[in-house]
Amino acid sequence: MIRTTLFALLIGVCASTMTSCSKGNDDDNTSATAKVNMHLTDAPADYEHVYVDIQRVEVTMQGSSAVTLTPIRPGVYDLLDFSNGIDTLLLTTNLPTGTIEQIRLVLGTNNSVDVGGQSYAMTTPSGQTSGVKLNLNQSLQANQSYDFWIDFDAGKSVHETGNGKYMLKPVIRAYSALTNGKIKGVALPLSALITVYAINGPDTFSAVPDITTGGYAFAGLPAGTYSVMLDAGVVSFVDTTVANVQVQYGTTTDVGTILLHL
């Protein structure tokens, strides 16, 4: 059974994942700012809740000091509320034109995970002070609007250290509206406890079907050819793989309903 996901770290994400996606509404061509919308989403995890305390975002433009941005709702977010293609708007702001060199996502201390009906506090050695870094060379043009997503991999970010203690080491990737390939489908039966994997060479992405409908979705996939694997959590069901699933930016590939058999 495959039980890991391989998402790129937010550190070192390629600048091509942050390209302009739409024309802004500002008709003043002399304006020297661009609109930036940052969304929060999550990859699935085998926990009941993963609570992350997001306090601020710091953006450093080339040749300038860091600009501190406050989320629309600073504080605790349950990452598992934003799986299967669901997201929430973290912040919206105007930034000066130029090149973004670095983004830091700064966390507070109120981070926790729920396991087996119990809540456990999580320490965050690096995220609480210096922040989770995203190094970029992304140019912003005047009167343009940029949307991008910060995608936490909750399953790889939470680490059990023993004796009922947990640590949060954020594993995050980012993608933009123009680099957003999607796959969706339905995995049945629900009793098979299926995890779905989209595999493209060395890269593997995961999704957990909805517990009532079996629907699942992947977002932010690089364009390419994928194998979609349905991995049953109950050994009496036979795993199934759909090969040659084509993913293109700006479109959603629907693999339909797949039924695992005993």
Q: Do domains 15-178 and 181-259 have the same CATH topology?
A: yes
**pLDDT in the model for residue 20:** 40
- For the chain, give every domain's residue range: 15-178, 181-259
Q: pTM for this one?
A: 0.76
Instruction: Say which CATH topology domain 181-259 has.
Output: Immunoglobulin-like (2.60.40)
- CB distance 66 to 58 below 8 Å: yes
Helix (H) or strand (E) holding 195: strand 194-200
CA 5-156-71 angle, 5° bins = 115
**How does DSSP assign 90-151, residue by residue?**
EEEEEEESEEEEEEEEEE-S--EEEETTEEEEEE-TTTTTT-EEEEEEEEE-TTEEEEEEEE
pLDDT tens digits, one per residue of 183-192: 999 999 999 9
Q: Does residue 15 sit in helix, strand or coil?
A: helix
Note the pLDDT tens digit of each residue in 57-90.
888 888 888 899 999 999 999 999 998 878 999 9
Instruction: Give the confidence band of 19 by pLDDT, cuts at 50, 70, 90.
Output: very low
Q: Work out the pLDDT band at 37, boundaries 50, 70, 90.
A: very high
| The residue type at 234 | V
Kindly indicate whether the domain formed by 15-178 is annotated with CATH number 3.30.450: no
